[in-house]
Structure 1
Amino acid sequence: MNSQIINMALVMGSMQITNRLDLEDTKTKQLILGAYISAQVIVLSISYIIQRRILSKKDTTVLKYLDQPKPMSGEEPKLVTTTNMAYDLEQNAQAQKQALMGLALMVFLHFQFGVIRPLVVQSILPVKNALQSKFAQVHLFGKPADGDLKRPWKADNPFAALTGAEPQSEAAEKAAIKKAEKAEKAGKSESKKDL
């Protein structure tokens, strides 16, 4: 089942749960806050375990890919040469940063404005997303990095089905990488001539 559909079902289900709760009751608020904090601890623990596993594998296989610029920036894709270990660590660090930013935002909203309802949703979705992330699938559950789990990991596009956008084939990706490598070499040789 599509991840976005599951997320929507979880959001709707948690909204129904919060409608049945007495959100003015201090004990209920404390339970929801405790569940939220526990969920964030679980997410950060999962991230830490993944980081340890990435470091223990020491996968120094070379990984080349084109880093796509932000939409409508007008920039060309940039060739990135790294290792699987460095790439996985970078992806995990981004997930940690995102989790901490979400935590900071929710704590601010809760203590500044008394927001309680979103804490119920945020007690469920981050744990689900952390366990379903591509690096968790590879490093926690031991799935091979093939197919959808092949690096570089693409972010799921919820609008791909609506727009009819098809993912780039592996052969087209390799051709684009070779073209970028040639352009990079040509740029380096031109800069040497100028010196």
Structure 2
Amino acid sequence: MNAQIMNMALVMGSMQVTNRLDLEDTKTKQMILGAYVTAQAIVLGISFLIKKKIQSKNDTTVLKYLDQPKPMSGEQPKLITTTNMDYDLEQNAQAQKQALISLALMLFLNFQFGVIRPLVVQSILPVKNALQSKFAQVHLFGKPAEGDLRRPWKADNPFAALSGAAEEPQSEAAEKAAIKKAEKAESKAGAKSESKKDL
């Protein structure tokens, strides 16, 4: 089953469960809040474990890729040169940051406005997503970084499953050709700036 469809099924299922709970009962609220905080602690624990695994592998293989600009920005893709380890650490750190922001936001909404319903689904989805993330698949479950798990990792398109049209990944050859083109453009720009300095 597609991950996005599974997420939607979990959301709908958790809504059905929430409708059967007495959300006015203090004990129920405390149990939901406790489950939510525990789930977030598990997510952060997974993230910490992945970080340790990445550091222990110390994969210094050079990774070059084109960082795509935001849509409608009019900017050109930027060539990024890094290592597998640095890239993986950066991706993991971004996931960790998102988890902390989500935790802070949900706790604020809960304590400030008494919001409790979203905590039920947020006790399930983040753990599932953390375990299914591409860096978890590579570093926790030992899957090779090939095919869908090949770096750089593309974010899943949440609308692809609904439209039935899966996004075609760029072939490795096309990606290498685009990187070479970007490298040539950068070297030409560097040569021009050097010649201007000489003048």
Letter in 2 for 1:169: S
In the alignment, the residues of structure 1 paired with residue 55 and residue 167 of structure 2 have an alpha-carbon distance, to the nearest angstrom, of 35
1:121–1:139: structure 2 CA closer, same or farther, 3 Å change rule?
A: same
Report the CA distance between 1:168 and its aligned residue: 1.7
Q: Deviations over 1:103-162 (max 9, x none)?
A: 011001000100000000000000000000000000000001010001000011123463
Q: Deviations over 1:21-66 (max 9, x none)?
A: 0000110000000000000000000000000000011000000000
Cα RMSD over matched residues? 1.1
Where structure 2 has 5 or more consecutive residues not aligned to the other structure, the ranges are none
In the alignment, the residues of structure 2 paired with residue 176 and residue 52 of structure 1 have an alpha-carbon distance, to the nearest angstrom, of 33
Partner of 1:166: 168
In the alignment, the residues of structure 1 paired with residue 77 and residue 118 of structure 2 have an alpha-carbon distance, to the nearest angstrom, of 37
Structure 1 consecutive aligned stretches of length 4 or more whose deviation exceeds 6 Å: none
In the alignment, the residues of structure 1 paired with residue 88 and residue 121 of structure 2 have an alpha-carbon distance, to the nearest angstrom, of 28
Contact 1:40 1:126 in 2 (8 A): yes
Matches within 5 A, 1:1-195: 1-160=1-160, 162=163, 165-195=167-197
In the alignment, the residues of structure 1 paired with residue 30 and residue 75 of structure 2 have an alpha-carbon distance, to the nearest angstrom, of 48
Q: Deviations over 1:58-113 (max 9, x none)?
A: 00000000000001110000000000000000000000000000001100100010
Matched positions, count: 195
Letter in 2 for 1:156: D
Letter in 1 for 2:190: K
Give me the TM-score of the superposition, normalised by structure 1: 0.97
Give me the TM-score of the superposition, normalised by structure 2: 0.96
Where structure 1 has 5 or more consecutive residues not aligned to the other structure, the ranges are none
User: Aligned with 1:175: secondary structure?
Assistant: helix
Q: Taking every aligned residue pair, what percent have the same amino acid on both sides?
A: 81
Letter in 1 for 2:105: L
Contact 1:160 1:166 in 2 (8 A): no
1:105–1:167: structure 2 CA closer, same or farther, 3 Å change rule?
A: same
